[in-house]
Amino acid sequence: MKIAILLSAGRHPVSGAAVLPRLEAQAIRLAAGLGQHIGLHAGPEAAVVAEALGQGLAHIQHAALPEEADPVPALATCLAALAPDLVLAGRRGQGGAETGIVPYAVADRLGYPLIPDIIAAAPGEEAGTLHLDQSLGRGARRRVTIRGPVVATVHPDAPASFAYAYGQARRGVIEPVVGALAPHPAPVPAVEERPYRRRPKLVKGAPAGSSAAERLKAATGEAGPASSGRLLVRPDPDEAAREILAHLRRIGVLAAPRDPR
Amino acid sequence: MTRPRRDPRAERAAIRVPDRDGARPRYDRSARRPGGGRPRRDPRAERAGQRVAGPLRLRYDLGQVAPAEGPVRAEPAQRTAAPTILTVEAPDFLVVAVPDMAGGRLSAHDRQVLGAARILAGREGGVAVLAVGAGAGYGSAGADRLISLDDDPDAYDPAGRAARIAATLAALKPRHVLFPETLDGGDLARRVAVRMREPLFGNAEGLSPTGLIRPARGRSIEQRAAPGLLATIAPEAVAEYAGPPREARLLPVEIDASMRGAQEITQEILSAIRIPADPATVPLGLAEFVAAAGNGVTDLDTFRRLVAVLRATPGASRVLCDAGLMPRQTQVGASGTVLAATCYLALGISGAPQHLQGVAGCEHVVAVNTDLHAAMIERAGLAIVQDAQLIMPALLRLLGQEAGDPGDAA
Ligand SMILES: Cc1cc2nc3c(=O)[nH]c(=O)nc-3n(C[C@H](O)[C@H](O)[C@H](O)COP(=O)(O)OP(=O)(O)OC[C@H]3O[C@@H](n4cnc5c(N)ncnc54)[C@H](O)[C@@H]3O)c2cc1C
Ligand SMILES: Nc1ncnc2c1ncn2[C@@H]1O[C@H](COP(=O)(O)O)[C@@H](O)[C@H]1O
């Protein structure tokens, strides 16, 4: 199986230093168990993705583009030439606009289906099919069987990336894509930028337009279930057990009893 | 527990003597003062009502608010008129909200998206909710119109659904369309954006009729733009709609027959099976329901059986982990795992601050402890002051009976 991994130029969220985005490092790990894999980056500099070599990627293709060009047409052209069975990308970039639209645009151009937020991948029983496990949050997953080629984005719950190995980084190669790729200017979004300002999170449970006293109650948990808390002092154990089960069922964490006959 | 608040002006006006010469006001002070105005608490009467009868010394039951004797007038019952339903007959424009409707219900995040749509719609616009399948409560969440998308809510075909949504939006021509920034909602929004060739303003954390704000570059900057056609709303960013209910009238949409792709299904997807989380192996931080044991639990075998039967994820306090009775990865608290569970069942846990930090995010807490004054009892929504070694077998017995297991029913 042939796998292409889309590598973007990431920035560390705290220091701002150039790093390989975490999700793309996890994508390398997912691909390592599946077959032959190759990295793909479209951008002005190849050095920014060199870290991926040390994470176990032996081979990276680099499509040189000017700074402000749209990477999507170049990525689609390279992928069409590579003809992989699976294209892996991060669910969001890191350190850029973080819109997560690039994989969707690439899949749309290639006419491939897209499966978002995968945490595991395995080849299917039939040739040319794949089992992709999608995260649904809270540990639940959806196993999608799909006929390739397919674009998939990686969720943070996927297995952690391999450790960086210096020897691998030395052995790996970054090869420029031959053939001129016409740079398309990216659509300039009409946004105004300014330093980030933290906004207060909504206080859960406080109705909009509530008074300060109500917000304080909601924040300290007094307004929640604790305010109406039930206290049973020295109850009969069976009675208490019935109360607990009824309470758990009201909340919805415990399934209702099977039909009581 | 209120007594009426005095309104001196009204009292004086009531005892004013109709004047004969009009030279100066005269009052009849001999009359009894009439009551009126806002109700007011009477702490003395409340306190007296809490007094526990007993010969030796004064005792008060502070947990209850008992009616007090004396001339305490009840708060005038507020007449709750049936809430009138707000209607927008001919909205100038539409703002469409596309909720996730996980499990067929509006989630809190879905309602926040409807609240955001309400803000963008203002007085002139109308909010339309574009929902798959039947659902309820759209009107009270702020929707003026309901567009029912003809789609199978259980089938997994996001590309097909995005195509149908895009076709509906093309026919409807709304001014804004909002999605929740969740796994499903964010995915759908990006598919619709790519399909309609429209830019998407993702993960908006701030919202006003004139601008949306989103974080970028690892939250070092924020980007602001006027609301465009498509946007996704971050969780806990916008308040839910709190006004009077709206009508959520069904709005039929004629999808142009020439809109290709409105009926397409993704041929490549061969099957999609939902695998529920296995509570025994799910990481503690992701678990939905955690049952934890503390130093008050000595019978750990029963505890483990109970956890398995309840289909909960096992947790423990630090004392048990330090003693090697429970594995370290089950430790809940500041130096263990911080939970995001819906429900936390604490058996024999005192509720030290370091432990409670890990439970802070849990919506519901059930505590069993022999100590009435334990912090865990105070935090719990259902607190049971009883020996955990008696409660655990009782729970197992009851669950066994329910499952119709004749062995345990005896
Ligand atoms: C730096 C630091 C970090 C820490 N981090 C953590 C952490 O991450 N997680 C954590 O849990 N702790 C942590 N601790 C420890 C914490 O302070 C407490 O010591 C610990 O949580 C107490 O655990 P416990 O409630 O199980 O035990 P105890 O405090 O011994 O409480 C036992 C409770 O069980 C009740 N009980 C006794 N017998 C029965 C019975 N038969 N039936 C029912 N109830 C009974 C008692 O009334 C009592 O309330 C930390 C401490 C420090 C200093
Ligand atoms: N210039 C690029 N070259 C290769 N892959 C990219 C590029 N930009 C984005 N990607 C991929 O698209 C994902 C989402 O990026 P973004 O849409 O920028 O949030 C990233 O995790 C990468 O896998």
3-state DSSP assignment of residue A30: helix
pLDDT band at B378 (very low <50, low <70, confident <90, very high): confident
Q: What is the CATH number of the domain that holds A85?
A: 3.40.50.620
Residues A172 and A230 in one domain: no
CA distances from B277 to A92, A150, B151, B286 (A): 24, 26, 26, 10
How far is the C-alpha of B281 from the C-alpha of B313, rounded, in Å?
A: 8
Instruction: Return the number of other C-beta atoms located less than 10 Å from residue B274's C-beta.
Output: 12
Interface contact A194-B368, CB threshold 8 A? no
Residues A152 and A223 in one domain: no
Q: Are B341 and B323 in contact (CB under 8 A)?
A: no
How far is the C-alpha of B22 from the C-alpha of B19, rounded, in Å?
A: 5
Ligand positioned closest to the Cα atom of B349 = 1
Residues A66 and A172 in one domain: yes
Is residue A188, in this structure, part of any structural domain at all?
Answer: no
The confidence score (pLDDT) of residue B117 equals 95
Measured by CA distance, the residue closest to atom 12 of ligand 1 is B318
CA distances from A127 to A119, A146, B110, B267 (A): 21, 11, 40, 16
Is residue A159, in this structure, part of any structural domain at all?
Answer: yes
Residue among B190, B274, B368 minimizing CB distance to A140? B274
Residue after which a domain boundary falls, among A128, A158, A176:
A176
Total-model pTM = 0.78
Residue among B236, B363, B387 minimizing CB distance to A201? B236
Residues A38 and A137 in one domain: yes
pLDDT band at A252 (very low <50, low <70, confident <90, very high): confident
Is residue B306, in this structure, part of any structural domain at all?
Answer: yes
Residue after which a domain boundary falls, among A126, A158, A176:
A176
Residues B387 and B289 in one domain: yes
Is residue A82, in this structure, part of any structural domain at all?
Answer: yes
Interface contact B159-A113, CB threshold 8 A? yes
Residue after which a domain boundary falls, among B232, B263, B294:
B263
Measured by CA distance, the residue closest to atom 49 of ligand 1 is B350
Is residue A146, in this structure, part of any structural domain at all?
Answer: yes
Is residue B18, in this structure, part of any structural domain at all?
Answer: no
Interface contact B398-A242, CB threshold 8 A? yes
CA of B334 to the centre of ligand 1 (A): 12
Residues A129 and A231 in one domain: no
Residue after which a domain boundary falls, among B217, B234, B263:
B263
Residues A94 and A29 in one domain: yes
Residues B183 and B298 in one domain: no
Is residue B17, in this structure, part of any structural domain at all?
Answer: no
Ligand 2 pocket by Cβ (under 6 Å): A 6-8, 21, 23-24, 40-43, 71, 75, 89-90, 92-93, 96-103
DSSP state of B410: -
Residues A98 and A50 in one domain: yes
Whether residue B315 has its Cβ less than 6 Å from ligand 1:
no
Q: Which residues pair with A133 in a beta bridge?
A: A120, A143
The confidence score (pLDDT) of residue B268 equals 83
Q: Which of B350, B359, B365 to probe ligand 1 with, by most ligand atoms within 8 A of CB?
A: B350
Q: A141-155, A215-229, B377-391 — which is least confidently predicted?
A: A215-229
Chain centroid offset of residue A95 CA? 14
How far is the C-alpha of B158 from the C-alpha of A205, rounded, in Å?
A: 32
Give me the domain span that covers residue A21: 2-176
Residues B243 and B98 in one domain: yes
Residues B200 and B116 in one domain: yes
Arithmetic mean of pLDDT, B106-127? 92
Task: Answer whether B280 touches A (CB < 8 Å).
Answer: no
Residues B248 and B305 in one domain: no
Residues A172 and A221 in one domain: no
Is residue B4, in this structure, part of any structural domain at all?
Answer: no
Ligand positioned closest to the Cα atom of B367 = 1
Report the complex ipTM: 0.85
The confidence score (pLDDT) of residue B35 equals 52
Residue of chain A whose Cα is closest to the Cα of B372: A233
To the nearest whole Å, the CA of A104 is away from the closest chain B CA by 7
Q: Which residues pair with A38 in a beta bridge?
A: A4
Is residue B78, in this structure, part of any structural domain at all?
Answer: no
Residues B222 and B331 in one domain: no
- For residues A221 and A181, the model is more confident at A181
Ligand positioned closest to the Cα atom of B335 = 1
CA of B18 to the centre of ligand 1 (A): 74
B50 has pLDDT over 80: yes
Count of domains for chain B: 2
Is residue B1, in this structure, part of any structural domain at all?
Answer: no
Is residue A59, in this structure, part of any structural domain at all?
Answer: yes
Chain centroid offset of residue B295 CA? 33
B77 has pLDDT over 60: no
B95 has pLDDT over 90: yes
Is residue A185, in this structure, part of any structural domain at all?
Answer: no
To the nearest whole Å, the CA of B314 is away from the closest chain A CA by 14
Whether residue B387 has its Cβ less than 6 Å from ligand 1:
yes
Residues A31 and A117 in one domain: yes
Give me the domain span that covers residue B236: 94-263
Arithmetic mean of pLDDT, A52-75? 91
Q: What is the CATH number of the domain that holds B136?
A: 3.40.50.620
Is residue B24, in this structure, part of any structural domain at all?
Answer: no
CA distances from B194 to A124, B332, B386 (A): 29, 43, 59
To the nearest whole Å, the CA of A107 is away from the closest chain B CA by 10
The confidence score (pLDDT) of residue B71 equals 44
Count of domains for chain A: 2
Residues B253 and B334 in one domain: no
Residues A158 and A218 in one domain: no
Is residue B69, in this structure, part of any structural domain at all?
Answer: no
Phi and psi of B263, rounded to 5°? -110, 5
Q: What is the CATH number of the domain that holds B369?
A: 3.40.50.1220
Interface contact B278-A204, CB threshold 8 A? no
Residues B226 and B341 in one domain: no
The confidence score (pLDDT) of residue A222 equals 52
pLDDT band at B408 (very low <50, low <70, confident <90, very high): very low
Residues A154 and A227 in one domain: no
Residues A18 and A64 in one domain: yes
